[in-house]
Amino acid sequence: MAEMILEVSHLTICREGSTVVDDVSFTLEAESDTALVGPNGAGKSTLVQAILGVLPRRTGDVRVLGHALGPRGQLPPAVRDQVAYLPQSIALHGRFPLSVAEFVGLGWDRAALALPWRGGRARRAAVALALAKVGGEDLAKRLVSDLSTGQLKRILLAFCVVRPRRLLVLDEAQAGLDAQAAEQFHGLLFNLRRSEGWTILQVSHDLEMVRRTCSGVLCLNRSLRCSGSPDHALSPAELERLYGRGWVAYHHHHAGASRS
Amino acid sequence: MLDSGFDPAHLAQLLALPFMQRALLAGLLTGLLGGLLGSFAVLRQLSFFSDALGHSALLGISLGVLLGLNPTLVLIPFAVLFALGVNHLAGRSQLPTDALLNIVYSSSLALAVLLLSRVRSYKGGLQQLLFGDILGVSWLDLGVILLLLISAGGYLLLSRRSQILLTIDEPLAISRGVAAGWHRLVFIVVLAVVVAISIKAVGVLLISAFVVIPACASRLVCRGFNAYVLVAALLGAGCAVVGLLASGAFDLPSGPSVVVVQLLGFLLALLVAPHSRLARP
């Protein structure tokens, strides 16, 4: 049996009194690439944030690399090191005096209290290698707040790749990118997944991309409506059940267009 | 009018006086502390928090006066309670934090003035509370500021990575294992204590300048985080010392002199950073 990277069982999440994710169970095998799809407000972002311990859960269990997520979202630091999260966007207000190399270095460090100069040489080497892997060597000295959306996404990938990870959680990674940049980003992600041996869970709205690159699909609309291979889960009949009548035809007219 | 003019001999005489030496030391330490905390506060959009806290502190001081206690003694617990209260409210309320802070500080200010108007004897001291009395700083005050500088500096140094991640994006920080709620609370309490301690020297009206102006000037010119924090702290300290010397030399009020020097530093930063996004309207 393949190693289970993530096991979610009977996960229910409430926000402000109402249930936004209801009794969701699924597992991710090592080196699988699974898309989480569903209409707006279906609870996709909430679900991934609860899995990471960012949002509290009502009931249910989450196991990451075999370790149970604590009731307040705690995981052992050695497990945290192997999980990375790419948010939809990071909102920096005005000039932010943090260089790209410093930012990527934050992905290398553990969050514990430590003297800032500890591990300096190893960190520098890891940061340089990570930037090379995403083709961002020339960005090292730039300020994070000066980057374009596409550059920022690549730097966020460098933040993930700076240390060996097992599980990568992406929340609409292609949001804000035009069609060409989204294509490039996914190509990079696809290559890194294979070379780094990542297991990926990604929230996505781009069903064409999901069909082409993902190995599995989870259809969420408050509860898990269906799951399986893209061919099965993204069949016209299943999509109509998930998004409602009329959506499928609309989508085919706009295949490949950028979504924001 | 600057009728006294500048007189080097006069300045040298002043520098020989113990209270002037204490004032310079107090300015140096307060400036360092303000710049250090400010560099994080400004990025976290907490500039207005320090301003509101400074104004609200007047209520703490007037409560102290009314109860016959040493105002500084009342000020620290008051500031901590204020910080905890605002943090709690901001987390729960549906209102934006700046509106909430505005309500809290304008009502504290109103209550404070009402209270002080009942205490006849204190009317004369209001000026001192508003603009600070750095010449009245004692060795004990200096010790407290130094202790605070060491502990706040140590905390920020050790938790530096967590602080930066929290400033960038909270979910991202939590996903890296940062105890976000705890660090947010500790930071806001430290900021509150720093503001409370500095009020004696700088006054309630100008305290936020110590937190905000050096950090913003540094933010305009620095290209890395370490440099940013260091420049903010040094700029805070430098402006305080230059401002105090100028106030001694030209016989000007001390707090406002320091703030004007900070303003000059900020304008200089605007000039040398013409390509910055903040510099453009």
Residue A238: inside a domain, yes or no?
A: yes
pLDDT 10s digits, A159-211: 999 999 999 999 988 777 888 888 888 888 888 888 888 999 999 888 888 88
Beta-carbon separation of B161 and A106 below 8 A: yes
**pLDDT score recorded for residue B121:** 63
By C-alpha distance, which of B49, B176, B58 is closest to B109? B58
Chain A contact set for B278 (CB, 8 A): 94-95
Residue A11: inside a domain, yes or no?
A: yes
Q: Which residues pair with A219 in a beta bridge?
A: A37, A226
Residue A128: inside a domain, yes or no?
A: no
Full domain range(s) for residue A216? 1-82+165-173+199-260
**pLDDT score recorded for residue A260:** 38
**pLDDT score recorded for residue B211:** 93
Residue A114: inside a domain, yes or no?
A: no
Residue A45: inside a domain, yes or no?
A: yes
Beta-carbon separation of B168 and A80 below 8 A: no
Beta-carbon separation of A143 and B223 below 8 A: yes
Helix (H) or strand (E) holding A228: strand A223-228
Are B116 and B175 spatial neighbours (Cβ–Cβ below 8 Å)?
no
pLDDT 10s digits, B170-180: 899 999 989 88
**pLDDT score recorded for residue B278:** 47
Task: Tell me the whole-structure pTM to 2 decimals.
Answer: 0.86
Pairing of strands A216-221, A223-228: antiparallel
Residue A151: inside a domain, yes or no?
A: no
- pLDDT over threshold 70, residue A253: no
pLDDT 10s digits, A211-242: 888 889 999 988 888 888 888 878 877 787 78
Interface predicted TM-score (ipTM) of this complex, two decimals? 0.87
pLDDT 10s digits, A72-105: 888 998 899 999 999 888 888 888 999 999 999 9
**pLDDT score recorded for residue A248:** 52
Residues of chain B with pLDDT under 70: 1-7, 120-126, 274-281
Beta-carbon separation of B174 and A90 below 8 A: no
Residue A139: inside a domain, yes or no?
A: no
CA-CA distance, B23 to B18, in Å (whole number)? 9
**A106 to chain B: nearest residue by CA?**
B161
CATH of the domain at A71: 3.40.50.300
Local confidence band at A255 (pLDDT 50, 70, 90 cut-offs): very low
Count: domains in chain A: 1
DSSP A25-85: EEEEETT-EEEEE--TTSSHHHHHHHHTTSS--SEEEEEETTEEPPTTS---HHHHTTEEE
Residue A29: inside a domain, yes or no?
A: yes
